[in-house]
Amino acid sequence: MNREVGALIEYFGFGAWGPLAQGAAFFLSGLPAWVSVRAFFAWTENNKTTSLVDMIKQLREALFK
The pLDDT of residue 65: 78
State the Cα–Cα distance between residues 13 and 61, nearest whole angstrom: 53
- What Å distances lie between residue 11 and 1, 3, 15, CA to CA? 15, 12, 10
Residue 17's domain comprises: 2-63
Local mean pLDDT, 10-residue blocks, the chain (65 residues): 74 83 89 93 90 90 87
The pLDDT of residue 8: 77
Domain count, the chain: 1
The pLDDT of residue 60: 92
Full-model pTM: 0.55
